[in-house]
Amino acid sequence: MFSLSINDIHLAASATDKKSAIEQVALALENSGYVKSGYVQGMLNRELQAPTFLGNGIAIPHGTTDTRDQVLKTGFSVFQFPHGVEWGDGQTAYIVIGIAAQSNEHLELLRQLTHVISDENIAQAMVKANTPKALKQLLMGESQIQPLKFDDTMVTINAHADNINTLKIQNIINLQNAQIVSTDFITQVLTETPYYLGQGIWLSDSPVGNIQNGIALSVAKNTFHFQEHPVKALITISYANNQVESFLSKVSQLLQNQQISHILKNDNVNSLVSRFTNEQNTNSPSPSDSLIEPSQSGITQDFTIMNPHGLHTRPSTLLVSTIKKFESTITVSNLDGTAVPVNGRSLMKIVSLGAKCGHRLRIHAEGVDAQQAISTIGEAINSGLGEQIPWVEELQLSL
């Protein structure tokens, strides 16, 4: 197996374009003693012959045969570009692996990468890896991404509950038994108020303590009320990556079609699970989920996300709920991400923006209530979208 040192892994890099990314990778190879200074030209020339993008956000730039004499010893340099680098033909690279090979040693690397290229979840986890060790484990196949846990063991039906905390505890027990959440997750869920999705459905999650992807669902035997809203069921989500997006999209679809109450009456746990995980008709984007082309008219304003953990499920849900109050067509784009505008009424699309603390969201509204929409959405974002953010707390203390 090819050798990869922790020192050859570089996290949280940024590049304005492919050329800049390749030059960074080539310099790292040179500084590590793998190549001479002339190797970078071979890497750039190789890209002119054919792009080195493999798929799933991974590119492997390397030199031409003419510059093999610039290789001092075989080595690799791995760069993580969280914001992505345009690699041509509409492809975006998030992981760039520079190769310096004296002969055909890189073929072993390509064989090793097949498990990454074929598994979208591993590729996404590499982009989010926050330590060189974690990225190396994923790259080398030492760390596997577990599938989303949502089966009959994660569902409780006919729960004897007359308050939201009883449903919280039941969901926590199921998640904890599956060993996919930590004590930090439990503390957060127990202390935070769930978010009301509508039609008696509530959602709770935590920005910390998510070990693996999992969903717990508890359905009350009899409907009760919490904060003047009915409670029929509580969904608690643990998310290590975006595997939960399809589930959230399904829930959103069921709510929109007024089908969720009927499904919750199902006394067969396996049947209930299948109704939530059935992907039929969710892969073909509806008008409400489609990407929207930017318009030259309307009102546009930028806002900065100050939530310490970015737009995870809870604040994303509140943002979508705020947007749905208005008739205007509203799009949201992450200027520090792909900057592609998406429909603000789609929870899945908002979550997929991957907006972190400090990222700039561009809100565009077009319609009869566009100005009011921009103002209200801006206030919601600046106030933390249902979460306490440091500068708000400091302001409150100073008043």
pTM: predicted TM-score of the whole model, two decimal places = 0.49
**Each residue's pLDDT tens digit, 5-34:** 899 999 999 999 999 999 999 999 999 999
Name the residues annotated as catalytic.
62, 312
- List pLDDT tens digits, range 306-337: 887 778 767 887 898 899 899 998 999 888 87
Q: Is the pLDDT assigned to residue 142 strictly greater than 80? A: no
- pLDDT tens, residue by residue, 340-388: 788 888 776 787 677 888 889 999 999 999 999 999 999 999 988 887 7
Lowest mean pLDDT among 87-101, 117-131, 164-178, 195-209: 117-131
pLDDT-derived band at 209, boundaries 50, 70, 90? confident
At 280, is the pLDDT very low, low, confident or very high (cuts 50, 70, 90)? very low
Helix/strand/coil (H, E, C) string of the chain?
CCCCCHHHEECCCCCCCHHHHHHHHHHHHHHCCCECCCHHHHHHHHHHHCCCEEECCEECCECCHHHHHHECCCEEEEEEEEEEEEEECCEEEEEEEEEECCCCCHHHHHHHHHHHHCCHHHHHHHHHCCCHHHHHHHHCCCCCCCCCECCHHHEEEEECCCCHHHHHHHHHHHHHHCCCECHHHHHHHHHCCCEEEECCEEEEECCCCECCCEEEEEEEEEEEEECCEEEEEEEEEECCCHHHHHHHHHHHHHHHCCCHHHHHCCCCHHHHHHHHHCCCCCCCCCCCCCECCCCCCCEEEEEECCCCCCCCHHHHHHHHHHHCCCCCEEEEEECCCCCCCEECCCHHHHHHCCCCCCCEEEEEEECCCHHHHHHHHHHHHHCCCCCCCHHHHHHHHHC
pLDDT of residue 61: 92
